[in-house]
Amino acid sequence: MINVLVVGSGGREHALGWKLSSSPKVGIVYHAPGNGGTPNNVEIEVHEIEKLAKFASENNCLTVVGPEVPLAAGIVDEFAKKGLAIFGPTKAAAQLESSKVWAKNFMKRNGIPTARFEVFDDATKAKEYAKSVDYSLVVKADGLAAGKGVIVCNDKSEAISAIDKILVDKSFGASGARIILEERIDGVEASYIAISDGNVAYPMATSQDHKRIYDNDKGPNTGGMGAYSPTGVIDDTMAENIQKNVIEKTVLSMKKENILFCGFLYAGIMVKDGKPYVLEFNARMGDPECQPIMMRMDSDLLDYIQASIDGTLASLPNISWKRQSAVCVVLASKGYPDSYPKNEEILGLDASNKDSYVFHAGTRRVDGKVLTNGGRVLGVTATGDTLQSAIYNAYTRVEKIRWPSKYCRTDIGKKGLRSSVGSDL
């Protein structure tokens, strides 16, 4: 038996820990720092790498890193120096997410399909470029910005405002010291996530995130307001295309550049005219995509994580998936992604049934009560024999949960009902 330390406090980490705890090979699953719904919480923050390493060593833990911040800080490198088993990419490999400029240049030099772009650190030059192009732009901060550093613009004035926001007003601090001005590709967005040992990559189930705060994809970007799996946007043919021309090409190109990518490799894909384009890479599992993916996974996640660490992924069969659909509806506090209230008591969190599970994110437990403690509070996730039934099961569960500033989108998964039947993944 091996213990597991899951680093992070969000819904993704709750879902990873929940799935790993179902393995007969796993003893105790610890969460650092965890949240109001996770068991065996350890009061160590994600950036306290030395403390995390000490705990993992003393408690015979394999460590699984959820969020991007410790990966970008080099937690994997530090654990490896100490001979500790840890799942996730090194600091060098995590540049795929921690620097959008690095990632775009990597894609350009290795022929990975992505939108044309230019990089700027001077607002005046950036504005001149924005005025000169005859297509709409997306303005991106270079560094980590919790999923909010991307501004999709409809016209030149919006692009100029976005440039000012990042480079002049410094809304994202050091993460916005450089920006990317990228051609806006209008299509259908989906998430394609794989697990890699640096040599090969196995696909996880396909999914589709809902990033905007309001129904019908209106309003500002968030960390994600819900997701469903599988998605018809990525049918078998498209999945094969992405696997070969994006995922495998990325892993092999990084290896040629002497960087082994071990961990979850997430490609945010825009499909336009039957072709996939990479919008961005994440060097970790998506959130909220993780929640429905974990509920559909039939295989033992621990086996694939250990094989990824050991470099033996090719010895395992493909991951097996339940044929059911799964839907995650994120319950947030009103005001998110800007300011929002905290410490409101959440009611209706009775035991989930076999068709649904409530993954916690921005919660904390005080004197037996569960209180809100973040913008994205819960991820209510449900399965169903069809996408329609999974949506129904998720929202039925959503209705039972309440707190004063509770907010959620009412259309999670509905765009999947309009798409064609997709792959079994």
HEC assignment per residue over 85-120: CEECCCCCCCHHHHCHHHHHHHHHHHCCCECCEEEE
Q: Could you count the other beta carbons within 10 Å of the beta carbon of residue 331?
A: 24
Tell me, what's the pLDDT at 418?
75
Q: Could you count the other beta carbons within 10 Å of the beta carbon of residue 61?
A: 25
Tell me, what's the pLDDT at 419?
55
With a cut of 50, say whether residue 421 has pLDDT above it.
no
- As a whole number, mean pLDDT of residues 130-135 equals 95
Which domains does the chain possess?
2-87 (3.40.50.20), 116-183 (3.30.1490.20), 188-315 (3.30.470.20), 325-418 (3.90.600.10)
Q: How do residues 262-320 score in pLDDT, each as one tens digit?
A: 999 999 999 999 999 999 999 999 999 999 999 999 999 999 999 999 999 999 999 99
Does this model's pTM top 0.85? My answer is: yes
Degrees to nearest 5, angle at CA 334 with 331 and 338: 110
With a cut of 80, say whether residue 146 has pLDDT above it.
no
Strand pairing category for 2-8 and 61-65: parallel
The beta strands (E) that lie in 288-398 are given as: 325-337, 356-360, 363-366, 369-372, 376-384
Q: Of 224, 220, 261, 263, which is closest to residue 65 (Cα–Cα)?
A: 263
Tell me, what's the pLDDT at 15?
98
Give residue 364's Cα distance to chain centre.
22
Residues of the chain with pLDDT > 90, as a percent, come to: 94
> Residue 249: helix, strand or coil by DSSP?
helix
